[in-house]
A and B are shown apart, each in its own frame.
Chain A
């Protein structure tokens, strides 16, 4: 039967003579990606083909580097990889704006991370935009956070119910630590809106910053707390009587029932002070109502 050749723009046909399915870095799946949608006027592939990202690369087309010639003008991997600034500007030519608006000078830009260090272009599905692939991507560098996610108390990242980009914008978040919200607390209130208040009886550190007490990526202590209660509470509360008591094994129960210290067992301080995030009861001064 007669073969029907695909219609491809620019020099693509020429490129595909080498960069075919058997190539070390196959590229054909780009035709299943948004980057190659010809009818999208914002996809330069339609008018420029591979040159939209890799440059004209005429010398490379005449004699490629493996054959003793030249690499592509803009190469994204391998020994001829272009400098990071060049690579990222190539991507930013189309991807500036909206959530990418604050990329310049952001933590990853400052560290000279290239877009392609995380993203895969010539594919139907970029792992960086897939939930599991994204977490693997991020934790391959952020090993400390990776370890914290495996601690006994953590947000449900390893269960696949949350991903890094639920809180962070890797392309330059507007908040500290590239958070998507302007402040830490605003970010937390996205899922924990009931803690926003404002309350009649505020707990000042809570109002200020959730991370004063909580470790968001995971903790060995319950409720993702930075330290075990009641000792965490006693780092700030040292009033007369029970707040300043030396709590230790003497508060553990003996063989009799009832026995043991209410300041140590069960929820310790929160056995009574149940509204540590703030109370709106007019008699809730001690966070008990």
Chain B
């Protein structure tokens, strides 16, 4: 046996501290969106991994570990673990995450007070942005970003031979700003909108508790989960920058016009789950989980309108002060798994996802976007009922693996899925799915597989007007020709009849222990065979190759290449309402089609190398991702269409790193990270805040980045 001294290099746990400096060359890049490297300039490279652990033979086997990562960035994390092996463990954690979506978005609004946005004192209102002479001088910047800070603590312990408990508590605070539009006027008539900074000030608390039992034959768990969401900014009030236009009551426009938006309401979710697994014999096992939950939301309603003049028109108030929203959830997942022999295994499973929406319905005579007088007439289209949708999804699946020979495996699965819904175009959809697979090992070094998928979805009678009728008063529906809102020929793609076919091929080649090559390719097609309008076809083709080479611990290389083509075809029919409605519907020249063709190519290369007697470690990674989305819209002669430019994104990322071990205790680390990222988007490129007559935009732009990140650090290592 080895001596303690001989063994020590293999069992000692080193602690490390890393100190250094980094530099980012450009702000607001795609690279910085989630990485914490969103600002240009210097940043500190700081990290710590401190570990104290008893050796394997200690009679007090305790490990304490403190890890701190990216302390110099706003994606920093610190975690402390204390574990007494075999008895208990506890942890505490602090974590920050940052997401930067738009740097320097613009707005005409000022935050006068929390939750209240106003316009500059010298604001010049007009019905169109073209006449807002103070628009451009009034703009000021804000960042669209989200910063999350979470604290968590928890632990687990064995309190008896086979019993184990665990608990986790987490609190996350999220703040930042979103860019959302303050909108006035009815959407179907003469709307006006202006983007504004919408503050996010969320707190989410989560609790997880579980009691587990496990022996060789059976395991079970009882668990409790709670998620409590609080929004400290439940509403936002904003002024109307547009002068009143003819269709609005005069008080809706500037300077009296004022609007209010309801932001995400507080909500809670509590769930109790009971799960278990039982081995009836070495070849038969049952496992299942049943969970009962309740979502609740009961924030006080805002007023139908915040505009005091428009509020005077209210003759029918709110049916209640708050939603009293409640959805009771039941989720079941049961599975029987058998392995009667080495050549055959099977599973039978049942899954239920039931959401019983107990939210009461009510009649609301709404005031559109703080820009209308209330119309509570018997046949008013503004008499609306909220629709608490129920949902019940069930899946039954049987699957089997059979090996007719040692090197051949056949696989088959059948699945039946039934989904029931309320207040939707189809009360029931049913889907049958068949999967077949064949896998063969041609040699110890080469195997190949083919998998086929076929699925067919249909259901009860499709009635696209169900939601329309349920959401309006009968008196109003009677006034609408045909009694429908959306075109009857429209089929919603998640409810429509659909036939899906797919084939996937895969081969793995391992010439020796050093090489691994995986080749994959596949095609799938969705045919929405009875959809005249809406999504009618969708497809996906992909091929990929993944190669890795790792001859020894001192060096390895890998490469991957993928090509994907994603397609979808949708058909539409442009029709106007009112007096045009009948004539338009009878006109076949108002059809249009949109053909979507997305292509994505990704190439990745990587290399790891240890040199100089393993004192120097080199790492290089390169990724090229190129995507192009083409949308081709064509129409009948009654409509006018023109081509759209392609939407593109192209990224080159090169990441080079080196670490040199000066002594056993001291290393130098260097990293150069370069990213070239360009996108093109016709909805954003060159679109200034005043480009549209009726929307003041936030001046979001495409990316055109060329960013360098350089990091140099010293790593001290000790035992």
By a beta-carbon cutoff of 8 Å, the part of chain A in contact with chain B is 3-8, 12-13, 16-17, 20-21, 26, 28-29, 31-32, 34, 36-43, 79, 83, 85, 93, 96-98, 101-102, 104-105, 109-110, 112, 124, 140-141, 143-144, 146-147, 150-152, 156, 159-161, 172, 174-176, 182-183, 186, 189-190, 193-202, 204-205, 207-209, 212, 220-222, 227-228, 231, 234-242, 244-250, 252-253, 257-262, 264-268, 270-275, 279-286, 288-289
Contacts and interface: CB of A to CB of B under 8 A. Distances in A.
Given A265-B687, A286-B368, A281 B1 contact: no
Contacts of B564: 147
Contact of B625 (A38, A151, A240): A151
Contacts of B534: 235-236, 238
16 contacts: A21-B6, A96-B219, A101-B212, A182-B333, A183-B353, A197-B297, A198-B323, A202-B388, A235-B534, A259-B693, A264-B683, A265-B682, A274-B261, A281-B260, A283-B364, A289-B262
A245 B56 contact: no
Given A4-B4, A199-B297, A42 B86 contact: yes
B229 A194 contact: yes
Given A101-B277, A258-B690, A272-B191, A143 B219 contact: no
A196 to B, nearest CB: 5
B295 A193 contact: no
Given A101-B275, A228-B631, A265-B697, A250 B548 contact: no
A267 B572 CA distance: 21
Contact of B325 (A197, A209, A220): A197
B97 A281 contact: no
Interface stretch (B40-48, B117-125, B486-494): B486-494
A101 B221 contact: yes
Interface in B30-68: 30, 33-35, 53, 55-61
B261 A258 contact: no
A182 B336 CA distance: 18
B34 A161 contact: yes
Q: In this complex, which of A105, A198, A208, A275 has the most chain B Cβ atoms within 10 angstroms of its Cβ?
A: A198
Given A151-B627, A235-B535, A246-B574, A39 B183 contact: no
B695 interface: yes
B331 interface: yes
Given A105-B336, A265-B695, A283-B368, 4 more contacts: A40-B86, A102-B289, A231-B631, A244-B572
A12 B401 CA distance: 38
A208 B598 CA distance: 26
A266 B692 contact: yes
Contacts of B305: 283
Interface stretch (B241-249, B341-349, B610-618, B706-714): B341-349
B230 to A, nearest CB: 9
Nearest to A245: B574
> Considering the complex of A and B, which 5 residue pairs feature the smallest CB-CB distances, nearest first?
A97-B214, A105-B337, A249-B642, A40-B86, A156-B34
B110 interface: no
Contacts, number: 476
Range class of the B interface residue count: 35 or more
A258 B242 CA distance: 15
Contact of A200 (B193, B293, B325): B325
B128 interface: yes
B717 interface: no
Nearest to A3: B3
Contacts of B59: 39
B301 A161 contact: no
B433 interface: no
A104 to B, nearest CB: 4
Interface string B692-709: 111101101000000000
A31 B326 contact: no
Nearest to B206: A190
A236 to B, nearest CB: 5
Contacts of B55: 31
Contacts of A236: 490, 492-493, 534
Given A97-B212, A97-B221, A110-B401, A262 B695 contact: yes
A150 B691 contact: no
Given A31-B56, A209-B494, A289 B683 contact: no
